[in-house]
Amino acid sequence: MLEVTGLHVAYGGIQAVRSITFHVNEGETVALIGANGAGKTSTLKAISRVIDAVGGDVHFCGEKITRLAAHDIIRQGIALVPEGRGVFPRLSVAENLAMGAFVRNDKGAIADDMEMVYGYFPRLKERIAQLAGTLSGGEQQMLAIGRALMSRPRLLLLDEPSMGLAPLMVHKIFEVIRAVASQGITILLVEQNAKLALQTSQRGYVMESGEITLSGEAAQLLDDPKVRAAYLGE
């Protein structure tokens, strides 16, 4: 479904991503793990066209999307849940979710999908009229994921969904990620909690200093001595 070839991202003279190549098959959950500054977030931003890539190509379902505008990326069926959540703080929960559906005009189905999101995250329904800026960090993460789902994505890009959350909230978020995956949505997951990311995924890639240094089945990476030493604290 997603084919990234020779992707290169730079900020001025700083090379954040160095000509990486990887793929995500339809229906897969694929983890992208690595230390802070490895280039994981820059990779997701380049795929979703939040930032420009210096070089390389991105294909989605066989179509080149490297130079599409960010709003057209969403229309293609790709949704990004950014690091830091990025909710609209002065809009209500319901308004934030509605913003996720801005590329759609099927009002009845939008209402159904909003109820689906509330089914995943009942706490959001309890706070339907509350301003997003007043929600807890975990609730904002729920809202950010729900907003992305409102665009009916075929590919969901998740950037550090567990960051800054209490263990119980992390468990809830990943429970929903697995439920979303079971509905056939393809997921590319960037996550500092390498163990949790690999346990949730079928395959994984390890990034170091802007390069992919290791890849394989998630179970194999969990057993790899280098991964265990560097990312699993073993």
| Per-residue pLDDT tens digits of the chain, which is 234 residues long | 999 999 999 998 899 999 999 999 999 999 999 998 999 999 999 999 999 999 999 999 999 999 999 999 999 999 999 998 899 999 999 999 999 999 888 988 999 999 999 999 999 999 999 999 999 999 999 999 999 999 999 999 999 999 999 999 999 999 999 999 999 999 999 998 999 999 999 999 999 999 999 999 999 999 999 899 888 876
Give Cα 194 to chain centroid, integer Å: 15
Q: Collapsing DSSP states into helix, strand and coil, what is residue 87?
A: coil
Polymer length in residues for the chain: 234
CA dihedral 26→22→56→145, nearest 10 degrees, is 50
DSSP state letters, 106-170: -HHHHHHHHHHHHHH-HHHHHTTTSBGGGS-HHHHHHHHHHHHHTT--SEEEEE-TTTT--HHHH
Residue 210 CA neighbour count, 13 Å, CB half: 12
pTM across the whole model: 0.94
Q: Count the neighbouring beta carbons within 10 Å of the beta carbon of residue 61.
A: 14
